[in-house]
Chain A
Amino acid sequence: MTAEPREAGRTGAADGWMLLLARLALGGTFVAMGAAKAGDPVPFLKLVHEYGLVPEQLPWLLNGLAVTLPWVELVCGALLLAGVGLRGAAACMVALLVVFSGAILWRALEILEAQGGPFCAIHFDCGCGSGDQFVCAKLPTNLLLLALCWLPLRARRPRWCLRADLLARAPRP
């Protein structure tokens, strides 16, 4: 692979191996989590329902989220792994992680209010595809993934990508 010229003020590593590692971690996580839920929407539907965030008068919304969210995760993860539309995929992941983490925190606080006890003793299946987890392990993990999203979001000359910028014009022959 030929070396690419470095822009002043930008380190090559951030657009190279560091970005690649972040893509693998983020993309792999999202593909795995999405695949775990996409095959059968019913378990995920039950978990989303437990959050109580979707009005009962809108069953189609709850059902639609259960059916589509796993595939959104899959698509974002796959695109990031393949190096297609990096910023868009990362932005999508940021949005998902913010919403998921907020919902997990909300539910943890509800459980804390109902049952009491130490916050870090609270555990439940958040619907992320990784089963029952302690809140104090899940939230920091999500924060780490959010931090990793920074690399593909700010990448200017990402390496090892099929088409990092979907909107960029193809180079002239």
Chain B
Amino acid sequence: MIWVIHTLNGIAFGMLLFLLAAGLSLIFGLLKILNLTHGSFYLLGGYIGLTVMRLTDSFVLALLAAAITIALLGAVIERFFLRRFHLDELPQTLLTFGFLFIFADLSLWIWGGDPLMLAQPRIFAGSLPLGDYVYPYYRLFLIAVGLVVAGALWWFQEHTRLGTMLRAGVDDAEIARALGVNVSLLFTLIFAVGAALAALGGVLAGPVLSVYPGADFEALILAFVVVIVGGLGSLRGALAGSLLVGILDDFGKAFFPEFALFTVFVPMAIILVARPTGLFGRG
């Protein structure tokens, strides 16, 4: 039974990682921007969700408010800042790095330095008994949400017109533009969607991990580990990478506790040596 718990745990953690990494990977795939502000989107999403949850006591509203606000913030950052340096990697990365610090200090100013925990949605309070052990319902809910989001993103990419445009843009933005795809709008849209995914991650992680200064950097590092394992720019890679990292991290911590500090990084190191483009990355 203990194996079931560890596996469930790894998958639940992996699903949180997926929400984080999917946005980062999506944005890189299309815009070729290594978006360091992604950590801020996660953090701000968590804080906004927390505030809305405290005001309205509704987890659904918290999710919506965080996703919409951060999507708008993402759109503004893409349109008015990043756009000026299209395909110019260094200024873009530095710009997103700068935003990361600005949002970190802003959050400290607004929400203070104490770690804050989101209340759980009441229907998922309590735990499922599994033999001698129990497993929290909320984590089962996380697994479900992760699967739904992964499914929705896959459907969007494969079966919608916008998804087709996205794939065209990823393959060759210039040709897509020549074929009449509004690449400019697509860029903003995808950046906003990626940001919103991170914000959702922030809210969903809130009742388990809490929100606190520094969570932005931690989330960013985890997202990077996942996309390095899975391959940058690939949704399938983000999903596979998240599950792999989540499960290995859990089993690593449980059975090789002396290596707990780098259980997350071991798969990354191995992948970098064996397959530098990641599991599903294109070379």
Are the chains A and B members of one assembly?
no
